[in-house]
A and B are shown apart, each in its own frame.
Chain A
Amino acid sequence: MNSIFTYFTEIFHAVKSLLTGMKVTGRYFFSPWEIVTQQYPENRKTLKMYDRFKGEVVMPHNGNNEHRCTGCGICETACPNGSIEVIQNKIEMPDGKKKRIIDKHIYHLSMCTFCGLCIKSCPSDALAWGQEFEHAVFDRAKLTKILNKPGSSILKDIAE
């Protein structure tokens, strides 16, 4: 008799546990306002990334096309993957002294692991994180970017 009792209590508990599970999925089925999917390409206009989002490394320029990079190359040594190359130029100042300035700040996005060491190590705060995250391109060469804009110059107070 006891074994028959256990047989039926087992069935009862099993069915109860199954119904508890079905309650959860059933509740979500009837509450479509809990849907969490983001409609990505449609919400592109309203999609705002967090302000600290690490999309890519950029070099901010001000309105006069001036940046803060001195071309010291500290970011190049700090980068663990060799994704930054700094090409320097030497120019002769009016007073006869020779001075290094940046020619090209080359950034290989394809090699970057977004660790942030370049931005942290930069003594003049020339680099920053960009919010752009749609990096897909058809040509790998397009992932190599020159961060200083053509014709840009270094900000006056940094240069001195």
Chain B
Amino acid sequence: MKEVINLPVKNIEEEEYHINMGPQHPSTHGVLRLVVSLQGEIVKSLKPHCGYIHRGIEKMCEKDTYPQIIHLTDRMDYLSAHINNHAVCLLVEKALEVDVPERVKYIRTIVDELNRIASHQLWWCSFGMDMGGLTCFFYGLRDREKILDIFEESFGSRLLHSYYTPGGLMMDIHPNFQKGVKDFIKYFRKKIKDYDDLLTGNIIMQLRTKGVGIISKEDAISYGVTGPSGRASGFACDVRKHHPYGVYDKADFKEILGTAGDTFERYMMRMYEMRESMKILEQLIDNIPAGDYAAKMKAVIKLPAGEYFQRVEAARGELGVYVVSDGNKTPYRMKFRSPNFSNLSALDHISRGVKIADLVAIGGSLDYVIPDIDR
């Protein structure tokens, strides 16, 4: 006899299913795994799974001396390697109360801003690729190459430089450095128009990004979304402006705040920031004072026992370094407050109810670098 099975009646339209975006997926820019619950094409919720590229940098720092830590911080947010180095150097200098020469401060600020532009160029090209405009990728990388050439000439490497040391710099800048930067600014002022023509003004891009993935100012503050992503929501969080380091207090630049907090605003913030960075470069590049490229430091750097914290504005937001020292030449505990980790935490909140295509665009606009999230 045939048995009648009464299956529970399910409303198929309300059923959710899960897909894995990553760890191997073209749009996650690395090994981030997002478990996305979907209903049709609409994202219901999202769970980021971190740790696929966890290397234990914080723990490794505990066995390294302070000059050695620098080369590890390069490998966190590899796109703003100089700025990461800057945070550790500033912390050590603050703890030891060392006065670094003015020349060092100028060079560090200039190199930081160059690094920020390079990082935003890479963001722009990968954002364009996320949106499906593959040509953006090549234009962005083409212009980034100019900065990397300047870096290579002066510091010998293109991505992971380890150029700063506590108390100064590894070596002086190359004689061609200033000319190279000036040439780059001239070149990039022309090319950034292409960026606007190709992507910013494009109607498809505007339709896809405006009003999508809105972070309110309150949310930005409570999730700790900083950097251009936070400023797009109107959260005045520019460390360069509010807690100046280097010679940012001598440079005239604007902290541009957005209002909408959507994907397009986050996009525009970075486009503005590239122009502001070029403005800073133009002001500083001719005024580098003569002097030593490093302060006199002891051969073995020992931080006095205590806790220290230093923050800088990395390309993606506020990077904090926290050190507990017990007076040895290695730190007792080291903690990084990485901007990407906090920015990622808002992803679930803002991507509920959007489509998969929007999720990719939002992810691109938050501009996360996975090694910085996992460390």
Tell whether any CB of A sits under 8 Å from a CB of B in the complex: yes
B328 at the interface (CB under 8 A from A): no
B160 at the interface (CB under 8 A from A): yes
Residues of the B chain whose Cβ atoms lie less than 8 Å from the Cβ of A145: none
Chain A contact-residue range equals 20 to 34
A136 at the interface (CB under 8 A from B): no
CB distance from A47 to the nearest CB of B (A): 13
Residues of the A chain whose Cβ atoms lie less than 8 Å from the Cβ of B156: 50, 52-54, 114, 116, 129
CB distance from A48 to the nearest CB of B (A): 12
Contact residues of B between 306 and 324, Cβ < 8 Å to A: none
CB distance from A119 to the nearest CB of B (A): 9
Residues of the A chain whose Cβ atoms lie less than 8 Å from the Cβ of B174: 50, 52
A115 to B71, CA, bound (A): 6
Residues of the B chain whose Cβ atoms lie less than 8 Å from the Cβ of A25: 135, 198
Task: Write out, one digit per residue, whether chain B residues 160-203 have a CB within 8 A of any chain A CB (1) or not (0).
Answer: 10100100001100100000000000000000001001110111
Among listed B22-30, B147-155, B357-365, interface-contacting one: B147-155
Contact assessment for B197 and A20 in the assembled complex, using a CB-CB cutoff below 8 Å: yes
Contact assessment for A114 and B201 in the assembled complex, using a CB-CB cutoff below 8 Å: no
A93 at the interface (CB under 8 A from B): no
Residues of the B chain whose Cβ atoms lie less than 8 Å from the Cβ of A54: 156-157
Q: A114-B157, A116-B162, A129-B156 are in contact. Are A24 and B71 (CB under 8 A)?
A: no
A135 at the interface (CB under 8 A from B): no
Contact residues of A between 129 and 153, Cβ < 8 Å to B: 129
CB distance from B354 to the nearest CB of A (A): 22
Minimum CB distance partner of A77 in chain B: B65
A50 to B67, CA, bound (A): 25
Contact assessment for B155 and A52 in the assembled complex, using a CB-CB cutoff below 8 Å: yes
Contact assessment for A115 and B70 in the assembled complex, using a CB-CB cutoff below 8 Å: yes
Minimum CB distance partner of A23 in chain B: B197
B259 at the interface (CB under 8 A from A): no
Q: A116-B170, A117-B67 are in contact. Are A13 and B153 (CB under 8 A)?
A: no
Contact assessment for B160 and A80 in the assembled complex, using a CB-CB cutoff below 8 Å: no
Chain B contact-residue range equals 20 to 34
Q: A50-B152, A53-B152, A116-B162 are in contact. Are A21 and B71 (CB under 8 A)?
A: no
Residues of the A chain whose Cβ atoms lie less than 8 Å from the Cβ of B153: 50, 52
Contact assessment for A24 and B160 in the assembled complex, using a CB-CB cutoff below 8 Å: no
A117 to B202, CA, bound (A): 48
Residues of the B chain whose Cβ atoms lie less than 8 Å from the Cβ of A24: 194, 197-198
Task: Write out, one digit per residue, whether chain B residues 289-301 have a CB within 8 A of any chain A CB (1) or not (0).
Answer: 0000000000000
B345 at the interface (CB under 8 A from A): no
Task: Write out, one digit per residue, whether chain A residues 1-44 have a CB within 8 A of any chain B CB (1) or not (0).
Answer: 00000000000011001101101110000000000100000000
A53 to B68, CA, bound (A): 20
Minimum CB distance partner of B69 in chain A: A80
A120 at the interface (CB under 8 A from B): yes
A113 at the interface (CB under 8 A from B): yes
Minimum CB distance partner of B299 in chain A: A121
B72 at the interface (CB under 8 A from A): yes
Residues of the A chain whose Cβ atoms lie less than 8 Å from the Cβ of B67: 78, 117
Minimum CB distance partner of B154 in chain A: A52
Contact residues of B between 257 and 298, Cβ < 8 Å to A: none
B142 at the interface (CB under 8 A from A): yes
Contact assessment for A80 and B64 in the assembled complex, using a CB-CB cutoff below 8 Å: yes
Contact assessment for A21 and B68 in the assembled complex, using a CB-CB cutoff below 8 Å: no
B145 at the interface (CB under 8 A from A): yes
A116 to B199, CA, bound (A): 40
CB distance from B20 to the nearest CB of A (A): 32
Contact assessment for A20 and B162 in the assembled complex, using a CB-CB cutoff below 8 Å: no
Contact assessment for A21 and B160 in the assembled complex, using a CB-CB cutoff below 8 Å: no
Partner pick for A80 among B68, B171, B198, CB 8 A cutoff: B68
CB-based closest 8 A-B pairs:
A115-B71, A80-B68, A54-B156, A14-B203, A115-B162, A52-B156, A50-B153, A17-B203
14 contacts between A and B (CB under 8 A): A17-B203, A20-B197, A20-B201, A20-B202, A50-B153, A52-B171, A53-B157, A78-B68, A80-B72, A114-B156, A115-B71, A117-B67, A117-B71, A117-B162
Residues in chain B within 8 A of chain A (CB atoms): 64, 67-68, 70-72, 135, 142, 145, 152-157, 160, 162, 165, 170-171, 174, 194, 197-199, 201-204, 206
Extra contacts besides A18-B203, A52-B153, A78-B67 (12): CB < 8 Å: A13-B203, A17-B203, A17-B206, A36-B142, A36-B145, A52-B156, A53-B157, A80-B71, A113-B71, A113-B162, A114-B162, A116-B156
